[in-house]
Amino acid sequence: MTLSFFDQFMSPMYLGIPLMALALTLPWILYPKPTTRWLNNRLLTLQGWFINRFTQQIFQPINMGGHKWALLLTSLMLLLITLNMLGLLPYTFTPTTQLSLNMAFAVPLWLATVIIGMRNQPTHALGHLLPEGTPTLLIPILIIIETISLFIRPLALGVRLTANLTAGHLLIQLIATAAFVLLPLMPTIALLTALLLFLLTLLEVAVAMIQAYVFVLLLSLYLQENV
């Protein structure tokens, strides 16, 4: 039976048990825990430097009230990067290619930022729905458009992450299949295709990190609007 290219995105099952939970808990095992020693090893030092730099860059434009989200957004960033990178390994499954999982990340966090804005500064939060200086005739239309754009935000977050990772995995599989088929027929073309596959894999590594960063960055921007 010929397998479809989209079979790689199906949630793996073992004895009827979905392995999605195992894939989500794997990043917790990979990262070393900080020690109580005065001097850490190189891995812990590099990990701490990366987390500190990321936290400073994300929360620098946000006031002190939004710094309570630092632990949550930094943990989400590490989780998404790890899941995206592990999905590039052979015979692995990428949970972030599932739209349901990405929406489960995006909707509650987006909704929390909206609720915080409505609770702390409702006038300022509602003011985003109507730009200043809008002509009177355009007020109803602009309010409807801005409301729709507000509710599309979590959908855009989830779809962006899902679409980028899914497209990258499909391209890798297509080019790998082409190189395998061309190898006995045209070895030179197959080697060029394999070189293209290597370059595309490097690009997908960058995409895996960038998309995790963009996901958290947009959440921080939504938080900045409402804090």
More confident residue, 97 or 7: 97
Taking only the tens place, the pLDDT of each residue in 109-156 is: 999 999 998 888 888 878 778 777 778 788 888 888 888 988 999 999
Contact 192, 175 (CB under 8 A): no
Residue 3 in this model has a pLDDT that exceeds 60:
no
Q: What is the pLDDT of residue 184?
A: 86
Burial of 131 (0-12, 13-18, 19+ CB in 10 A): exposed
DSSP characters for the chain? -PPPGGGGGSPPEETTEE-HHHHHHHHHHHSPPPPSSSS--HHHHHHHHHHHHHHHHHHTTS-GGGGGGHHHHHHHHHHHHHHHHHTTSTT---GGG-HHHHHHHHHHHHHHHHHHHHHH-HHHHHHTTS-TT--GGGHHHHHHHHHHHHHHHHHHHHHHHHHHHHHHHHHHHHHHHHHHHHTTT-HHHHHHHHHHHHHHHHHHHHHHHHHHHHHHHHHHHHHHHH-
Residue 1 in this model has a pLDDT that exceeds 50:
no
As a whole number, mean pLDDT of residues 9-23 equals 74
DSSP characters for 66-106? GGGGHHHHHHHHHHHHHHHHHTTSTT---GGG-HHHHHHHH
Q: What is the pLDDT of residue 26?
A: 79
Taking only the tens place, the pLDDT of each residue in 166-198 is: 998 889 988 988 898 888 888 899 899 999 999
- As a whole-number percent, the residues of the chain with pLDDT over 70 amount to 96
Q: What is the pLDDT of residue 89?
A: 86
Taking only the tens place, the pLDDT of each residue in 113-126 is: 999 988 888 888 78
How does residue 220 score in pLDDT terms, banded at 50, 70 and 90? Answer: very high
Q: What is the pLDDT of residue 6?
A: 67
Residue 2 in this model has a pLDDT that exceeds 60:
no
Taking only the tens place, the pLDDT of each residue in 25-57 is: 878 788 877 777 777 778 888 888 888 998 888
Mean pLDDT computed over every residue of the chain: 86
